[in-house]
Structure 1
Amino acid sequence: MTATVINSSEISMTTFAIIGAGRGLGATVARRFASEGFEIALVSRSAERVESLAADLRAEGVSARGYVADVRDVASIARTLDEVTAQQGPIEVLQYSPLPDKSFLRPVLETTPADTAAAVEFSVYGPMAAVHQVLQGMRVIGRGTVLFVNGGSAVKPGAHVAGTSIAFAGQSAYAQMMHETLAPEDIHVAQLIIPGAIEEGSAEKDPDVLAEKLWTIHAERGEFRTYAASMEGED
């Protein structure tokens, strides 16, 4: 698919796109980036849910639109992100944070090659397609950020969630290579590790705390990996 051509002289605003947008962390991060002047693009597999979320955010004064894509269909990712660029402006920040399917979370002795292939499509091919699609626009505007949000199994594989552990390892390797390769172009690729569940009211893992951490990762452009909380006790 041919991407929308971006003319740097015509850029008036840029976009924060969330792949895997939902009413939890996704909505909270959308509000945080919108407060800094970003257009918000919400991407999900469910048209009904993402359009409802976009409508609620617009009611709060957020400039948000909903889009549909299946992360296991790389053509749909490319098509949707091109649509985002055409309608809302170039994507300066991309967040990849869809929740893995429950079928990827089986114990290692029950995990089949088919399970693993699906997890790799979801966590490796999907983000590769997304980054490929937004990279040209980031290069034109001269900056960009790609944020990967992962659970603890991305750095400490768990035998009870084998498919995701295998696929997250591949995603982490890809993201770190991109971090090192794109840094000279002021395109920051970073990973936030959230061990365990997101917890409202938690000093470390409340959605508002995590949204602020993601904003800081984008703004300060530091190391590749940031931990939301200690990995102690994770297995």
Structure 2
Amino acid sequence: MSRPVIVIVGAGPGVSGSVARRFARDGYDVGLVGVHEEPLGELSVDLEALGAGVGHVVADITDDTAARAAVDELGSRLGRIDVLHFNPSAFRERDPLTLTVPELLADVTLGVGALLSALQAARPHMSAGARITATGSMAADQPWHGAASLGVQKAGLRNLVLSIDAALKDDGIRAVSVTVRGTLSDEGAFTPDRVAAAIHAAAHQDEADWRAEVPYSG
């Protein structure tokens, strides 16, 4: 049998890089979609050192056509998609009195809408047992007014993941949003590696007890 494959949308340093390495250590090949070549190249070297087959595509995932093409290319190149991980969000320090409608829509396109592009392109490469995971945030429930669009993104992302799970569960494909209830840090319970471990665990839940939202509180 071929090795399982994870495709990470919004790949780069931080949580997404830790997710890539965690799955690579578990025997997965890895596809990366990100906006900058240099961090994708550096991460690819790390993953290859762990024994993973790696493909990466530079794409602006807010461009529906480009996002779909990138995910489809990786699914075809790597032969399958067993896990689709969605990581991106936009942090824009604007409160509701200064945030404009175009800015809000741009941020939601990145942090929520791009998942639709990625999912619909990935679906032909997924079979029963495949999983969709997403990096959620406590901002969905406790938004900070100073970055108002972030809470909207994370609430929308969780809602969309719940709908994806309901739509695909009869096909044996499940989706989960991991709600990170803390602030990312270089040490302690909320390091990128610890969050990545929580995402890995959520993707490997027993389907009989599946939860489409899993909180991570450290």
Note whether the superposition's TM-score is higher than 0.5.
Answer: yes
- Aligned-residue RMSD, C-alpha: 1.9
State the Cα distance separating 1:167 from its structure 2 match: 2.8
SS of the equivalent of 2:52 reads: coil
* Partner AA of 2:162 in structure 1: Q
Q: Are positions 1:130 and 2:118 aligned together?
A: yes
State the Cα distance separating 1:27 from its structure 2 match: 2.1
Note the alpha carbon deviations across 1:61-87, whole angstroms, 9 max, x for none. 332222112121111111001110121
Q: Are positions 1:80 and 2:70 aligned together?
A: yes
Equivalences for residues 162-181 of structure 1 within 5 A: 162-181=148-167
Change (3 A) 1:44 1:155: same
Residue 225 of structure 1: which of 210, 213, 218 is its match?
Answer: 213
Are the counterparts in 2 of residues 40 and 63 from structure 1 also a CA contact under 8 Å?
A: yes
Residue 210 of structure 1: which of 195, 207, 213 is its match?
Answer: 195
Are the counterparts in 2 of residues 175 and 189 from structure 1 also a CA contact under 8 Å?
A: yes
Task: List structure 1 segments (4+ residues) > 6 angstroms apart after TM superposition.
Answer: none
SS of the equivalent of 2:193 reads: helix
State the Cα distance separating 1:188 from its structure 2 match: 1.2
Q: How many residues align?
A: 215
Note the alpha carbon deviations across 1:129-188, whole angstroms, 9 max, x for none. 1111112222xx322111110222123333222112223322222111112222222211
Percent of pairs with identical residues: 24
* Partner AA of 1:57 in structure 2: L
State the Cα distance separating 1:115 from its structure 2 match: 0.9
After TM superposition, the structure 1 stretch with the greater mean CA deviation from structure 2, 87-96 or 155-164, is 155-164
Equivalences for residues 138-177 of structure 1 within 5 A: 138=126, 141-177=127-163
Are the counterparts in 2 of residues 78 and 129 from structure 1 also a CA contact under 8 Å?
A: yes
Are the counterparts in 2 of residues 14 and 88 from structure 1 also a CA contact under 8 Å?
A: no
Note the alpha carbon deviations across 1:95-123, whole angstroms, 9 max, x for none. 111241x4x33111111111111012112
What is aligned with 1:35? 25
| CA–CA distance in structure 2, aligned partners of residues 29 and 17 of structure 1 | 10
TM-score w.r.t. length of structure 2 = 0.90
Are the counterparts in 2 of residues 198 and 206 from structure 1 also a CA contact under 8 Å?
A: yes
Q: Are positions 1:13 and 2:3 aligned together?
A: yes
Q: Are positions 1:94 and 2:84 aligned together?
A: yes
What is aligned with 2:99? 111
After TM superposition, the structure 1 stretch with the greater mean CA deviation from structure 2, 210-219 or 158-167, is 158-167
Are the counterparts in 2 of residues 105 and 164 from structure 1 also a CA contact under 8 Å?
A: no
| CA–CA distance in structure 1, aligned partners of residues 56 and 28 of structure 2 | 15
Are the counterparts in 1 of residues 72 and 121 from structure 2 also a CA contact under 8 Å?
A: yes
TM-score w.r.t. length of structure 1 = 0.84
Note the alpha carbon deviations across 1:24-71, whole angstroms, 9 max, x for none. 222222122112221111211001221122123223433222211212
Residue 183 of structure 2: which of 192, 197, 200 is its match?
Answer: 197
| CA–CA distance in structure 1, aligned partners of residues 108 and 197 of structure 2 | 29
After TM superposition, the structure 1 stretch with the greater mean CA deviation from structure 2, 107-116 or 176-185, is 176-185
SS of the equivalent of 2:19 reads: helix
Unmatched 5+ stretches in structure 1: 1-10, 231-235
Q: Over alpha carbons, which structure has the higher Rg?
A: 1
